Amino acid sequence: MVNPASRTQSIELSQIRKMFEVTNPDAINLGIGEPDFNVPENIKIAMKNSIDNNETHYTPNKGIIELREAIVDKFKKDNGIKTNPENIIVTAGASEGLFMCAQAFFEAGDEIILPNPSFLSYEACITLSGAKIVSVDCSMENEFKLKAEDVLEKISSDTKAVMLNSPSNPTGAVMEKEDIKAIADLSMDHDFLIISDEIYEKIIYDKNHYSPAKYSDNVITLNGFSKTYAMTGLRIGYLTANENYTEELLKIHQYNIACASTTSQKGAYEALIGSQNEVEKMINEFKRRRDLIVSRLNEMGYETVNAEGAFYVFPKIADEDFVQKAAKTGVITVPGAAFGSNGKNHVRMSYANSYENIEKAMDILEERVVNG
């Protein structure tokens, strides 16, 4: 047997993806990080029409021009980011964008500042690039929010980038404007990149979203359609950066996938220019579910921050066997340690499931795990 590359041996398969392999049809899955809603009808129609019109061939590497123009308008309107179609790359999901960033800019000897806890793909992409992770604690006492002063303490002459994710997976934390702006200022003062993953940007409650690219030129902004428009399986995302950065990113994208799915790009264009009514309904329903799961977990004695965005909660649960116990009762969750050392004694629960199923899951946990 031929030995695999050492870089792949240094990472493990995702514990989250294991949740997709649950075979118990009666299990309530609070482990999956994707909306349980369907793709809005106008987007479906646009994709069907594109196939009927034989729009199934390669597009330009960066994506179809009308989609990139719509993304430029979106960045200007929603984020205060000035960009142009040449500085947009349409990707196979935000995940490809993340991998592109790591491969284009990170190398051995570089230090990448990473919030702890954070989405586990960040650590894997950094490790595969050969760079070193410098962890910054995001404590429950600060509602898991990354603070600028904590980032400042970690900056060195080897700092190449800081990873930001607001709203956050796995905690649902939404960073404060002053911290976003302060870290953006630091990126200019110390000349490092900010990789800003804003995939949950629209799924936010009672707060405003702020993009660091509004305040700094040293930012690569990642986003996509998976979470906002329930288009997870269509693998369609996008990024923007200044022209010096996009040229290097395009090299990775071009030799990796050539271009994103044409059909998905047509759907993404419709998503941006069409009605946003379904998005608003989805966000309102997520907020209703958030209120339910937070209140129930706190009532059970599991201290839970009132997550301000995304569709996750990260309760403090010291019982190391909780995830296994819950699974045996038919409730699937993810151990917090999968997201970094600060995730220990926590469990990630997704409320991207029906209100009724969340109620049922909380009843099961209370009866069979807490009081069982």
Report the CATH fold assignment for 6-39+277-370.
Aspartate Aminotransferase, domain 1 (3.90.1150)
CATH topology of domain 42-273: Aspartate Aminotransferase; domain 2 (3.40.640)
pLDDT of 289 reads: 98
Percent of the chain with pLDDT over 90: 91
Q: How many whole angstroms separate alpha carbon 39 and alpha carbon 250? A: 29
* 285-342 confidence digits (pLDDT tens): 999 999 999 999 999 999 999 999 999 999 999 999 999 999 999 999 999 999 999 9
pLDDT surpassing 80 at residue 32: yes
- Where do the structural domains in the chain lie, given as residue ranges? 6-39+277-370, 42-273
Q: What was the pLDDT predicted at 62?
A: 98
Percent of the chain with pLDDT over 70: 97
Q: What is the pLDDT confidence band of residue 15, given thresholds at 50, 70 and 90?
A: low
Residue-level pLDDT at 16: 58
Give the whole-angstrom CA distance, residue 367 versus residue 330. 12
Q: What are 48-92's pLDDT values in tens digits?
A: 999 999 999 999 999 999 999 999 999 999 999 999 999 999 999
- pLDDT exceeds cutoff 60 at 17: no
- Return the pLDDT at 14: 66
Which has the closest alpha carbon to 168: 345, 289, 39, 348? 348
The pLDDT tens digits of the residues spanning 191-248 come to 999 999 999 999 999 899 999 999 999 999 999 999 999 999 999 999 999 999 999 9
Measured between alpha carbons, how far is 260 from 92 in angstroms, rounded to an integer?
5
Whether the bond into 117 is cis, omega within 30 of 0: yes
**pLDDT value for 236:** 98
Q: Rounded to 10 degrees, what is the CA torsion of 351, 354, 360, 363?
A: 30
